[in-house]
Amino acid sequence: MKILNNISAPDKNAAAAAKARWDSIAKPLGSLGLFEDAVCRLAAVQGTDMPDISRRAVIVMCADNGVVCEGVTQSDSSVTALCTDEIVSGHSSVNVIAAAVNAQVEAVDIGVAADTSARNRKIACGTRNIAAGAAMSAEEAEAAINTGIELVKEHKERGTQIIVTGEMGIGNTTTAAALTSVLLGLPPRDVTGRGAGLDDVRLARKIEVIERAIALNAPDRKKPAELLAKLGGFDIAGMTGLFLGGALYHIPVVIDGVISAAAAAVAAALAPQSAGYMLASHCSSEPAGRLLLDSLGLKAPIQAEMRLGEGTGGLMLLPLLDCALSVYRRAHTFDGIELERYIPL
């Protein structure tokens, strides 16, 4: 994808100016921890020492996964369409939280098996079963990635300043675990969790299916686009595009849970500099959650054992960032109150 050659590193000068601003505020150095780091990252992404995230959106990529036929989930694929329509109607968890933090919600049907009322950017009616072959063609994977990139471009043009990634798709913890296993070089049993609530028997089945899918498809971690096509889902591919689009159009993009983190890891494999445009929100209770964030060099400020998805955890980061930005902009400075500055020791 030639467009990825246009990705440049975030603005180090803006980040340094933001760090200097933090150090001028009359408080112990670094005492807001990861939130100081997050503001500096926002500054680098937006290219200004006064970043603004007041215009925000969550984009929920909705798609079905053919691997559901292997019995790896508690629900069947019909739930994807039902939950997608609930998001569009404004009644889902993501809508309630988004309203509380003043964020717009955009639900995108990028591959739901049934018709939905979400924005129609359907690549196909769900992916194929990864335990029987590749999830999608190379062309379908590229189309899904490009869809995410195009959505970020649209949001840039309408003035969105930060994007939260979300997803809805029964079976997507299976595809996320399969991708994670290959990307991190770890056995499926070490990165696979219970998803929406599997018992021990179904968890063992899920791990076995992922092992079979990897053996059959023989993916190469050094070929991330091919890996995504073989083991991923349209929702993950679309979110991969959101992360790449954030880097292309200089919009910070928030990682939600483990599925979003898997997409972020694929994006970073495709374009390493895109990782500089990502923000971690919470660390998923799924086993791969922390492993994926570690691989991206990111720490999540929220440690709450969340696993709801839809972008809910990512949205919960926003009011915490608002608080940090309020201190950053408005708190008194050492010079302002004629107090001797702290120095690093």
Q: How many residues does the chain have?
A: 345
The question of whether 310 is a catalytic residue gets the answer yes
3-state DSSP assignment of residue 63: strand
3-state class percentages of the chain: helix first, strand second, coil last, to nearest 5: 55, 10, 35
Alpha-carbon distance of 68 to 81, in angstroms, equals: 14
> How far, CA to CA in Å, does 125 sit from each of 76, 120, 217, 316?
15, 11, 21, 31
Active-site hit among 142, 150, 310, 340: 310
> Whole-angstrom Cα distance, residue 318 to residue 99?
12
Q: Can you tell me the distance from the alpha carbon of 296 to that of 8, in angstroms, rounded to the nearest whole number?
A: 17
Token couple for 166: 């979300």
Query: Which residues have C-beta within 8 Å of that of residue 345, sequence separation ≥ 6?
Result: none
What is the set of active-site residues?
310
